[in-house]
Every structure is written in C-alpha cells, then in structure tokens.
C-alpha cells in the first residue's frame, strides 16, 4: 500500500501544557478475582516476603513504573466494612462480597495494603464506601490511617503494628455511584449531597487530604453530563478532583474505531472539562476542578459473563483475566498519549488494574509472574515521559470511524525535561498505511535522537504466555532521519512509537 502524505508536527519547547503529575502513572488493586489473593499476596509462594506479598509481582510493578495504587475497589468498596480488615487475621470475619459474590477472608486489609505500598514506594489512593455506609465510617478510616496517635482508632492502628500514620493523601468518595450494578447506587442529587457531607467530615479529621468525587461510570451512561453537573454543584468546594472511567474494546471487528479509542478518550476528557468549568463559572469559583481518570484500559468486556447471583465464588477465583494482542498494546499506548495531552487537568490516572484482573501483569498461583502485551507501552511511557507536557501542533489528515466519527489519523504527545536534558515524542499511526512523521523542532538546542522504538500491530490473536507477549516489547529501529531542526520518522501501519531525545548545548 502506498505511503500517505507526511504528517507534520511542530514541537516548541516554550509551548507548554503543564508539569506532568507522576500520579498519572497509577494503577489499581481491587478485591476482585485474583488481583489480591494469588496476585499481589500469596503467603507460601516461593517469592513471598515476610508479609506474604509476592516479590516477583512487586518487582514487575516497579519495572512497570507504577507511582500510585487505588484500593480496595472498585465496585467492591460499595459494600466493604474496612474494620473487617484490621487486627489479628485469625479473628477477621469471612464475608460475602456483594459486588463480585465472592468469599472475602479479609486476610488482606488496610494495614497490609498500605504497608505494602510503603515498602514498594508507591502512593496509595483509598476509596471509601458510599454505597452501604457514609460519614462515620469514612471519617473513622481517615482517623485510623492518618492521625498519629492519642485517639482510639489511631491507637488501634498503632497496636495493630503501624506506629507511624500512613498519611494517605488521595481519597475517592465512593465508586461509580450512578451504575445500576453498584450496591447502594444513588441518583446524582443524593450522591452529591452525601459526598459533600462525607468529604467535609473527612477533612475535619485531616485537612490535608485530597478528595475525588465520582463522575459518571462511563461516557456511555444516559445521565452523562447531567450527573457531573449535579454532583459538582454539591461538591465543587469540597472536591479536588472529578473521576472518569473508560474501558475500550474492539466491537464486531471494527478495527478502525478501536484504533480511534485515544480520540474517543480525548473527547470524553474535553466534555468533562467543559461541564466542570461551566459549573465553576456558574458558581463564580476561581477553582479549576482537576480530573482523576482512575479507571482506564482495554477490556474485552463483551466476552465476560455477568456475575452469577446464584453462586458464591471462592476467594481467588479467576475473573476478567484478559490477555492482550499487539493491537491492544498500540491502543494502550495511544490512551497514554491522550492522558499526556491533558496533563494540565488530568492529574491522577489509574490503569485498571495491576495484576490478573484486566491487567498488564499475570500470575499463576505458586508459579510465575509475567508481563502481558499492555505492560510494554505503559512501562516505556512512564519511563520516558518526564518533566513538562508540550502542546505539539499536529497537522494530520483525519480518519472516518463508525463509532467516533472523524478522528486524527496520527496522534502525538511530547514531553520535555530541561533539567534532565531530555525530551520524548510519542506517536501512533491509527491507519492501515505507513506514514512519515515530520517533526519540526528548530527551537530545541542540541536535539539528538537517543533512541526510537515501536510496537507494530498485526492481525494475530491474544498473546497468552510471557514469551508470546514479549512480541509487544518495543523494538528499537533506525527508521529515523534526525536533523538539527527537523527529524523524520517512519511510522508503520497501526503502530505506536516512542522517540527518546537528548537536548542541550
Ligand atoms: O475494574 C473493574 C470494575 O470496573 C470496577 O470494580 C468498577 O469500578 C468498574 O466498573
């Protein structure tokens, strides 16, 4: 197939969108399937540490570059009693989790998770239950986690083995509270009022915390927009963030639309910003609501079966253990491009989830842990995207898609870290034809291409084993023609590319 006309991208080091918050390289661990039990935690596993957490998984999480972990749900949180998960393990109750109809032993709870995060060097993001509970339970949990001592709950944490407070900064006020599947689902007005009250009380316990109000559980919800408006009218003052959730998949072989997922995410974010800013304007508030994209990924949701409400699943059941194709890895890379292009407003983001459940890391009980295809674009982006996100000026043709209408044929994000003397350019060719990207960078001093690597989609299936998934490891190539003011890079059809740049005199 013939090449398309080159795409022109102008990169100006002065055209800055904002500092990249490292929290956008977050992920998510829910009490769901094997995310916790035989995922992060498996006492008796050959690599288990003294606390029963798998070292092989911890090492992969570090290699992935994860900075933040959301916990304990997800839908799970909406019927969770956090008190069940503290104190002597042998005395913890066994419960039926109502979200996933799974037996929960509570062997892992707040202390185990937060101590693991501390050992791993990642920031925790906790969610409170606004499905079956409310103000008191949420305020109590903040007290348990963040007050140094001298109160009943903080002293209980101390006697449970954590003398230092955890200092959890980020808190989600519930999860997907508009979803019909959510235990304790509420309408926007009811949720907004509750979230405002709960948030107010949690801040009374610790004024330094940051709060995330629930946005719609997806762009496809019939109440999308109206939900955000009403919720923010109640919570604008108390909340620091509004949440967004989105999962993408290829529907009925519609590859073009699937490759346009990054553009769909881009519009979703723009719509939420517009809605949030309109509430801010009406309230006369100088505050700009930040966004927390705390669930995003590719998910073969149409292949999953609904939760069986007649059965109780044993702990550690296999749920949503998706395996990914090269095409999915390209799309994940493109979704990260979109997040970088909104770095000024999207300050938190979580790839949902970390291990086994729609995840970049897979494990076998008693066996190996390995990288799946989506691991690679995430790890490479988290490593290369440093400093400031730029506003690249992209002159590209568009592509017609059935689900998203016209989308740019090439997507691009660029980052620049003058202190480290590095820059990076991320590109996706969403079309099925090769294209050359002509990068113009006359104002970057001493532009040198340090490396260029790509993931190229094919028409193959899911990459199940570690060996197969390694096909998604970006391959270094030389299809780059660097110059002082302009660099050309050839983009294969349906591919993701990262260019690592050194800058400076
Ligand atoms: O990530 C899996 C589930 O997807 C989460 O529990 C829920 O918030 C979303 O619907």
- Do 76 and 131 contact (CB within 8 A), yes or no? no
pLDDT score recorded for residue 38: 98
Neighbours of 313 (CB within 10 A): 17
Q: Where are the beta strands (DSSP E) in 252-309?
A: 290-298
Domain ranges, ordered by start, for the chain? 21-321+343-357
Mark 226-237 as b/e (b = at least 16 C-beta within 10 Å): ebbbbbbebbbe
Helix (H), strand (E) at residue 175: none
The active-site residue out of 30, 123, 228, 295 is 295
pLDDT tens readout for residues 313-335: 999 999 999 999 999 999 999 99
Structure tokens at 162: 């954590």
Of 183, 245, 249, 359, the one to substitute when testing ligand 1's pocket (max ligand atoms within 8 A of C-beta) is 245
Neighbours of 376 (CB within 10 A): 26
Helix (H), strand (E) at residue 192: helix 188-205
pLDDT band at 222 (very low <50, low <70, confident <90, very high): very high
Residue 143 is among the residues annotated as catalytic for this protein: no
CA distance linking residue 89 with residue 75, whole number of Å: 24
pLDDT band at 3 (very low <50, low <70, confident <90, very high): low
Q: Where are the beta strands (DSSP E) in 352-445?
A: 361-363, 369-371, 388-390, 393-395, 398-401, 405-408, 410-417, 422-429, 435-440
pLDDT tens readout for residues 243-276: 999 999 999 999 999 999 999 999 999 999 999 9
pLDDT score recorded for residue 310: 87
CA distance linking residue 320 with residue 503, whole number of Å: 43
pLDDT score recorded for residue 489: 97
- Do 102 and 317 contact (CB within 8 A), yes or no? yes
| Partners of 348 in the β-ladder | 292
Residues with CB under 6 A from ligand 1: 30, 32, 73-75, 175-176, 217, 295, 352-353
Nearest CA to ligand 1 atom 5: 74
| 151 contact partners, CB below 8 Å, separation of at least 6 | 143
Closest atom of ligand 1 to CA, residue 175: 8
Task: Evaluate if residue 24 carries a pLDDT over 70.
Answer: yes
pLDDT tens readout for residues 453-484: 999 999 999 999 999 999 999 999 889 999 99
134 SS3 class? coil
The CATH code belonging to domain 21-321+343-357 is 3.20.20.80
Nearest CA to ligand 1 atom 3: 74
Structure tokens at 361: 């890391």
């Amino acid at each position: 197939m013939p090449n398309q006309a080159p795409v022109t991208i102008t990169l100006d080091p002065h055209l800055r969108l904002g500092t990249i918050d490292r929290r956008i390289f977050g992920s998510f661990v829910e009490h769901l399937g094997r995310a916790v039990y035989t995922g992060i935690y498996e006492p008796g596993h050959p690599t288990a540490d003294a606390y029963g957490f798998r070292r092989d998984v911890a090492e992969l999480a570090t290699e992935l570059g994860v900075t933040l972990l959301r916990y304990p749900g997800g839908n799970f949180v909406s019927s969770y009693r956090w008190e069940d998960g503290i104190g002597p393990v042998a005395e913890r109750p066994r419960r039926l989790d109502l979200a996933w109809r799974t037996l929960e032993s509570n062997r892992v709870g707040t202390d185990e998770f937060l101590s693991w995060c501390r050992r791993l060097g990642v920031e925790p993001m906790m969610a409170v239950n606004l499905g079956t509970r409310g103000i008191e339970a949420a305020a109590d949990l903040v007290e348990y986690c963040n007050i140094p001592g001298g109160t009943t709950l903080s002293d209980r944490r101390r006697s449970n083995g954590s003398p230092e407070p955890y200092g959890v900064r980020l808190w989600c006020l519930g999860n997907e509270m508009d979803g019909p599947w959510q235990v304790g689902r509420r309408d926007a007005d009811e949720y907004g009022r509750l979230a405002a009250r709960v948030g107010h009380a949690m801040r009374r316990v610790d004024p330094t915390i940051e709060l995330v109000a629930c946005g719609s559980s997806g762009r496809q919800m019939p109440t999308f927009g109206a939900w955000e408006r009403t919720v923010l009218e109640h919570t604008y003052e108390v909340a620091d963030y509004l949440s967004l959730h989105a999962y993408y998949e290829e529907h009925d072989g519609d590859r073009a639309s699937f490759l346009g997922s990054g553009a769909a995410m881009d519009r979703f974010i723009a719509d939420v910003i517009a809605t949030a800013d309109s509430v801010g304007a009406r309230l006369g508030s100088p505050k700009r609501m930040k966004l927390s994209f705390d669930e995003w990924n590719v998910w073969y949701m149409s292949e999953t079966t609904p939760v069986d409400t007649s059965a109780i699943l044993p702990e550690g059941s296999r749920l949503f253990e998706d395996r990914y194709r090269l095409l999915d890895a390209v799309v994940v890379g493109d979704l990260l491009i979109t997040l970088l292009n909104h770095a000024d407003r999207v300050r938190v983001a979580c790839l949902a989830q970390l291990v086994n459940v729609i995840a970049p890391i897979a494990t076998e009980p008693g066996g190996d842990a390995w990288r799946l295809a989506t691991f690679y674009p995430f790890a490479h982006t988290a490593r290369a995207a440093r400093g400031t996100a730029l506003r690249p000026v992209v002159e590209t043709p568009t592509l017609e898609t059935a689900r998203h209408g016209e989308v740019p044929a090439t997507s691009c994000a660029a980052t620049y870290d003058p202190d480290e003397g590095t820059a990076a350019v991320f590109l996706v060719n969403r079309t099925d034809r090769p294209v050359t990207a002509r990068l113009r960078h006359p104002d970057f001093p001493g532009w040198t291409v340090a490396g260029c690597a790509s993931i190229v989609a094919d028409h193959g299936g899911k990459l199940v084993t570690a060996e197969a998934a390694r096909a998604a490891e970006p391959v270094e190539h030389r299809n780059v023609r660097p110059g002082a003011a302009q660099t050309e890079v050839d983009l294969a059809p349906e591919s993701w590319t990262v260019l690592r740049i050194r800058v400076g005199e």
